[in-house]
Amino acid sequence: MTDPSTPPIDLQRYVDEALAAIGLSIAPEDMPAVVAIFANLARVAAPLMEFPLPADAEPSPVFTAGGMRR
pLDDT (tens digit, 9 = 90+) per residue, 30-68?
999 999 999 999 999 999 989 898 999 998 888 788 765
**The model's pTM:** 0.65
The 3 state secondary structure assigned to 9-57 is CCHHHHHHHHHHHHCCCCCHHHHHHHHHHHHHHHHHHHHHHCCCCCCCC
Residue of higher predicted confidence among 5 and 35: 35
Q: What does the pLDDT read at residue 33?
A: 97
Cβ(45)–Cβ(68) below 8 Å: no
pLDDT the model gives residue 4: 62
Q: For the chain, which residues make up each domain, given as ranges?
A: 11-69
